[in-house]
């Protein structure tokens, strides 16, 4: 199982409030205690510090270039300290967001900076998940879910509904371009129904 020979690397992606965190947790619970559940930005001590710089404060706090560097720096630390060692030990790693988020949030939505995102990824990260679940849903409903739990981490969510629509389209375009890796999941269903769908697709992928 998995193309890397050791461990399986799974990411969850989608717009804010789509239910990624909920589904990442439910899959980790279903796959057992040896599974590593992690998130971005964050997932290691250093990357969690960088997360605070990224998600708090005014939307225009960083230039697009600085923001890409910060997300990439956080991902590099997450990879070195958490993801890499766990995969080398043969574990299943489930991350709530990974590089597709940067491709879409920084590369497609805020400015036409996708080439910079791709070059930095190739230079500093260089790996893709074995399997990505894109939790897709209508941005208006997702935004309602997100705003219901305001957390002080709203720098991106404050960017509004049009932004979320652009993000959704960006994620779906990635899924269309890489159908072998990215599975689109309808997130507008009860959490346990979505979770059962994801578990079934994971099991099918393992035996494929
Ligand atoms: P994300 O990580 O994509 O932002 P969360 O998993 O944190 O999303 O979910 C956002 C909010 O919506 C939370 O309050 C969560 O309890 C709720 N939620 C998650 N999944 C569902 C679902 N399938 N149906 C209804 N509410 C949900
Ligand atoms: P996250 O904690 O996943 O937020 P949510 O639970 O609301 O989906 O991520 C924080 C914000 O950071 C989120 O709005 C998406 C954004 N983000 C990027 O812009 N680029 C990235 O590379 C990553 C990983 C996240």
Report residue 13 as tokens. 């992606």
For residue 135, the 8-state DSSP code is: E
Measured from CB, residues less than 6 Å from any atom of ligand 2 are 16, 21, 40-41, 55, 71, 96-97, 101-102, 105-106, 146, 156-157
φ, ψ dihedrals at 38, nearest 5°: -145, 180
Report residue 164 as tokens. 């979320």
Give how far Cα 156 sits from Cα of 17, 140, 185, Å. 11, 15, 23
Higher pLDDT, 142 or 148: 142
pLDDT at 29 over 70: yes
**The model's pTM:** 0.94
Look at residues 182, 157, 165 and name the one whose alpha carbon lies nearest to residue 100.
182
Report pLDDT digits (tens) over 86-131: 999 999 999 999 999 999 999 976 667 999 999 999 999 999 999 9
The strand pairing partners of 92, in sequence order, are: 8
């Amino acid at each position: 199982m998995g193309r890397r020979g050791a461990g399986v690397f799974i990411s969850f992606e989608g717009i804010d409030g789509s239910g990624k965190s909920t589904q990442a947790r439910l899959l980790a619970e279903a796959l057992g205690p040896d599974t590593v559940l992690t998130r971005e930005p964050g997932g290691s001590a250093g990357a969690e510090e960088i997360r605070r710089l990224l998600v708090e404060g005014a939307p225009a706090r960083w230039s697009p270039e600085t923001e890409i560097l910060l997300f990439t720096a956080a991902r590099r630390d997450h990879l070195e300290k958490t993801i890499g060692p766990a995969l080398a030990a043969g574990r299943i790693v489930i991350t709530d967001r990974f590089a597709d988020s940067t491709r879409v949030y920084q590369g497609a939505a805020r400015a036409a900076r996708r080439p910079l995102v791709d070059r930095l990824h190739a230079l500093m990260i260089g790996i893709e998940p074995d399997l990505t679940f894109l939790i897709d849903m209508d941005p208006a409903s997702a935004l309602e879910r997100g705003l219901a739990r305001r957390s002080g981490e709203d720098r991106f969510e404050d960017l509004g509904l049009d932004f979320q629509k652009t993000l959704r389209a960006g994620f779906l375009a990635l899924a269309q371009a890489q159908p072998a890796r990215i599975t689109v999941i309808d997130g507008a269903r009860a959490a346990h129904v979505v979770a059962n769908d994801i578990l079934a697709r994971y099991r099918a992928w393992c035996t494929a």
